[in-house]
Homo-oligomer: A and B are copies of this chain.
Amino acid sequence: MTTRFFIGTAQVDSLPANNRGLAYGDGLFETMRMHRGDVAWWDAHWSRLMHGAARLRLRLPDASFVRDQASQLFANEEGVLKLVVTRAGGRGYAPSPDSEPNWLLSLHPLPSKPREGGLALRWCDLRLAIQPALAGIKHCNRLEQVLARAEWQQDTIDDGLMRDHEGFVVCATSANLFVLREGGWTTPLVDRCGVAGVCRAWCMAELATTEARLNPEQVESSDAIFLCNAVRGILPVERLDGREWSPHSQVAALQARLAQVHPAFASHREVS
């Protein structure tokens, strides 16, 4: 892992001790796919970051400065680019609105290729709390995801589906969910919890998807499901606890389409 820290436009050795990312998770992040020095969906990532920053009233660094830094630091590299923007400031919850953003860029190895034939999922026990004020944005308060991901250690399970406190299905711990039912695609609403994924938005446009609340039975009785995120692209699902699905041509077609648009994801196609 290579990491660079910044305060505004100044590169620093480490973030100040009083930065509120460390204290309160008072920040936002983006996890992006870097391919030959280019960032897939950069504009969509930055746009979500701006939306989150408006919600948290968090000052962002300059977009072109961040992108230039990423290109200079990680030119021609392959991997996962992570941007974390936190609020500067002191002890106590009151944020100081004019503080220079404390931020970092880091490059991480690509995750391993998805399981041949499709992912194996489980249902998570931990329920997502309903909090419209934080729903949709990629903020740094992620203990729910940490606890949910800690529910299993076996590497026969790739991810877990999470429900909200009312029992509706929302997402996987680190991906969005798409479900094929009655001839149409549905993805859970992320208006009360969950993250409005960048790859989710791309898939929604490609598949003319409906956003809705889905219960577990609706997911289990669907004709196909897949997960997606901006690092791993489209991830077909083969099994969810006892339920199994065969590869579906619509998912394979979507993978092919993504590989066309973003060559970074060409190697991640499992079904052809």
Contact = CB atoms under 8 A, between A and B. Distances in A.
A56 interface: yes
Interface string A90-115: 11111100000000101010010000
B108 A133 contact: no
Nearest to A111: B92
A102 to B, nearest CB: 9
A173 B86 CA distance: 20
Given A25-B141, A141-B25, A106 B17 contact: yes
Interface in A101-137: 104, 106, 108, 111, 126-127, 129-131, 133-134
A140 B149 CA distance: 18
Contacts of A56: 143, 146-147
Contacts of A19: 22
A146 B139 CA distance: 13
Interface string A133-166: 1100001111111111110000000000000010
A67 B80 CA distance: 39
Oligomeric state, in number of copies? Answer: 2
Contacts of A126: 133
Contacts of A24: 25, 140-143, 145-146
Contact of A144 (B5, B22, B134, B147): B134
A90 B108 contact: yes
A21 B25 CA distance: 7
A84 B23 contact: yes
A174 interface: yes
Contacts of A22: 15, 19, 21-22, 84, 86, 140
A1 interface: yes
Contacts of A104: 17
Nearest to A139: B143
Contacts of A31: 91
A18 interface: yes
5 closest A-B pairs (Cβ-Cβ)?
Answer: A25-B25, A129-B129, A24-B142, A129-B131, A141-B141
Interface of A: 1, 3, 5, 13-15, 17-26, 29, 31, 56-57, 80, 82, 84, 86-87, 90-95, 104, 106, 108, 111, 126-127, 129-131, 133-134, 139-150, 165, 173-174
